[in-house]
Amino acid sequence: MPSEVLKIFGPVFIFLFYFVFAHRNRHFRIYGPLFYVTCFVAMSSNFSLFYRQIFQFIQIVFVFYFLWGVVNHRSIHPVNKVLIPFLILILFSVFLSKLDSDSASQTINFLSIIGVLNFLLHQLNTSERIGCFVEYIGRLSFIISLLGVFEYFFLGSSRIEVTFSNPNYLSFFLGIGFCILTAGKRSSIYWVRLSVVLLAIVVSGSRAGLVFPLLALFWSTYQSSGIRNRLLQAFFAVVIGVVLVVSGITRFSDEQSTSGSDAERLIFLRISIEMANDHPFTGVGWGRFPAEFSDYATLTDLVYTSDGDAVDVSGQERRVTHNDLARILAELGYVGLIWFLFMSFRLGLDAFKIGKNYYFFVFPVWLGVYIFSLTHNNLNSLFFWFFFFLPSILKRLVGSAKRGHVMISSSLESK
């Protein structure tokens, strides 16, 4: 495939950008976090050559670095007060269910995510460092988008992937970058970056990815002063939405494909509820939805698409929920779901308040990440957990700044 060439050589351009950005921003403590993001984008889901194996080794190194820091400093980040109860629920569900390869690998993956997340939070302990970190993500999304546009127009890919193995997760990263870029200073390059990233999201064919630019635009409209500015931005939001649907360039126009996919997701949700009803306190066990799927698939009713076609999954062996709330419900039961919803409610309020008063990009990013997880499985992604907890992290930094401990000096503060 022509796009395979981009997976082989794309990481070279990504790492070159890392070295240029790191050289211009001489904050030694953020080199590690920036390097991890670079490796994640270039190699985490890139199955060409040995990229994925290299990334797994790098992730192990970061986890051991975090553990060494805990031993030396004898302290952990406050975000673990929320994560540890969720981890206890996971370990409890694993202990009471059948431990198989799926359950073991998913638990190990989650533990590694906690380790790397703590490493990032230990390094990014000031507003200035977090500002530089998210600025890098925004600019890196522009570089990835340039590669994606090249893949679409010159390599003939119908849905771009760049260095990712799935166009939906590519659009997830680009969507986060788009929201971050909207908080930059208005200039000619500002509009160029937004246009290129938006185009890359569109040609990725991801419906969930389009949520991010729409949220960013509506949030900008809400934050704008004056009726004229709000009406103008709302008008552009409607025009963009109509053009994307009518042009046929997105999968919104493929009604047969999208309605079939939506019908399957509804079936998976029903199966998750059935699993939770059978195991209300512990679920079927962390990571065990695919293994238990076939036993429940034969018991579900058919779901019909808008065209009247029946969608039947009873003959399928292993599937995933394509919805993180459904996964938590099935694998951790109602207790796990209630805890996660409680966390979400508190962090959502923090995101709204901090995004309205200090950091413009936080609320659309947080809400976009959350909505994306309602249509995909994202709990093994570091980016999900980092941006999920980012409102709480920034809230602490703002509180410290008010008490005179930290200076708020991010280049990506509210307009």
Most confidently predicted of 59-68, 250-259, 303-312, 364-373: 364-373
Q: Rounded mean pLDDT of 49-58?
A: 91
Residues 244 and 210: their CA atoms lie apart, in Å, by 10
Cα separation of the two ends of the chain: 44
Any residues with CB less than 8 A from the CB of 264 and at least 6 apart, and which? 303, 311, 313, 319, 322
φ and ψ at residue 202, rounded to 5 degrees:
-60, -50
Residues 143 and 288: their CA atoms lie apart, in Å, by 37
Any residues with CB less than 8 A from the CB of 25 and at least 6 apart, and which? 132, 136
Predicted pLDDT at 51: 94
Predicted pLDDT at 19: 95
Q: What is the DSSP string of 110-141?
A: HHHHHHHHHHHHHH--SHHHHHHHHHHHHHHH
Residues 260 and 256: their CA atoms lie apart, in Å, by 6
Per DSSP, 208 falls in state G
Which stretch of 139-153, 208-222, 268-282, 296-310 has the lowest confidence by average pLDDT? 296-310
The SS3 call for residue 303 is strand
Residue 363 pLDDT grade (very low, low, confident, very high; cuts 50, 70, 90): very high
Residues 298 and 316: their CA atoms lie apart, in Å, by 9
Most confidently predicted of 178-192, 240-254, 366-380: 366-380
Predicted pLDDT at 168: 93
Q: Do residues 37 and 13 touch, judged by C-beta distance below 8 A?
A: no
Residue 61 pLDDT grade (very low, low, confident, very high; cuts 50, 70, 90): confident
Tokens representing 353? Answer: 């308040």
φ and ψ at residue 413, rounded to 5 degrees:
-85, 175
Closest CA to 325 of 366, 359, 276: 276
Residues 294 and 271: their CA atoms lie apart, in Å, by 10
pLDDT of 335 > 60? The answer is yes
Predicted pLDDT at 408: 38
Q: State pLDDT tens for residues 66-83.
A: 777 666 666 678 888 888
Which pairs count as long-range contacts for 80-86, CB under 8 Å and 24+ apart, including other chains?
80/114, 80/118, 82/343, 82/389, 82/392, 83/114, 83/117, 83/385, 85/339, 86/336, 86/339, 86/340, 86/343
Mean pLDDT of the chain: 85
Which stretch of 141-150, 153-162, 258-267, 299-308 has the lowest confidence by average pLDDT? 299-308
Q: Do residues 142 and 193 touch, judged by C-beta distance below 8 A?
A: yes
